[in-house]
Amino acid sequence: MMPGLQHGPLDAAAVHLCIDMQRLFAPGSPWQVPWLVKILSRVERFAEAVAAQTIFTRFIPPPNKHDVPGTWRRFYERWDELTLHRIDPDLLELVEPLQAFCPPVPVLDRWRYSCFTNPRLGALLRERRSSAIVVTGGESDVCVLATVMDAVDLGYRVVIATDGVCSSADSTHDAIMSLYHARFSQQIETASLEEIRDAWRS
C-alpha cells in the first residue's frame, strides 16, 4: 500500500506525540542524531499548529547503571557517562525551540524506549478520548518504533510523519519505514506533515 492517509481524515481528538526531541540527541551529545536538526523546523511548525493536541516526551536515563534490570544494566555500563549521576542535566531538556510550548503542552518522562511505559500517556489519551496518534521525533527505529508497536497493540490508529521522524542510521530508518508500509498498513499510516495537517479536522 502506498503511503498517505489511507483511512481518512483525523478527528479533533487525535493527539500529536512528539518523541524525545531533546538536547540529549542533538549535535554535541554522545547520542547525537544528525537528522534531528533537519526535521526540527518542520516539527516546530507542526507543533505550533496543533499545540492543543500535542504531547512531548523525554527519555531520562536512570541515576546509575545499578538502578535498572537485566540488559539495561549492560547498556548503561556502555553509556555510564549518560546516567543521571554524571550527565549534564541540560542535555535532558527539550531542544530550545520546543521548550517555548511548555507549559501548557505536557511533557512526559520515562527511562525505557516506549512512551507508554509512562502510565500518564495512556491516561491523557483516555481523558481526551483519542483514538489516533500522530508521531514525530526520534529515533524512528528505537523509541518511535517501541511506542508505535505499543500503540498498535492498544488499538490506536497510528500516523507517522515521514518528514517529522529521524534516526542516526539511514539504513535502519529506511527499513523500518518500509516495514510499516509492507506489514502494518491497516494500523499504521505514513504521510507528510503537510498532508496530516490538511486532513486534521479542528
Which sequence spans correspond to the domains of the chain?
A: 15-60+95-198
Model confidence band, residue 202 (pLDDT cutoffs 50, 70, 90): low
For residue 139, is the peptide bond before it cis, meaning its omega torsion is within 30 degrees of 0?
yes
Model confidence band, residue 1 (pLDDT cutoffs 50, 70, 90): very low
Q: Quick check: 3 pLDDT over 90?
A: no
The C-alpha cell at 32 is 547525537
Alpha helix (H) residue ranges in the chain: 35-49, 70-78, 96-99, 119-127, 143-153, 170-183, 193-198
pLDDT at site 183: 87
Amino acid at 187: Q
Query: Is the Cβ–Cβ distance between 166 and 38 less than 8 Å?
Result: yes
Q: Quick check: 167 pLDDT over 50?
A: yes
Quickly list DSSP for 72-98.
HHHHHHHTGGGSTTTS-GGGGSBPHHH
Per-residue model confidence as pLDDT tens digits over 146-156: 999 999 999 99
d(CA 153, CA 13): 19
pLDDT at site 169: 86
Q: Quick check: 135 pLDDT over 60?
A: yes
Instruction: State mean pLDDT over 32-60.
Output: 95
pTM of the model: 0.94
CATH number belonging to the domain at 15-60+95-198, selected among 3.20.20.80, 3.40.50.850, 3.40.50.300, 3.20.190.10: 3.40.50.850
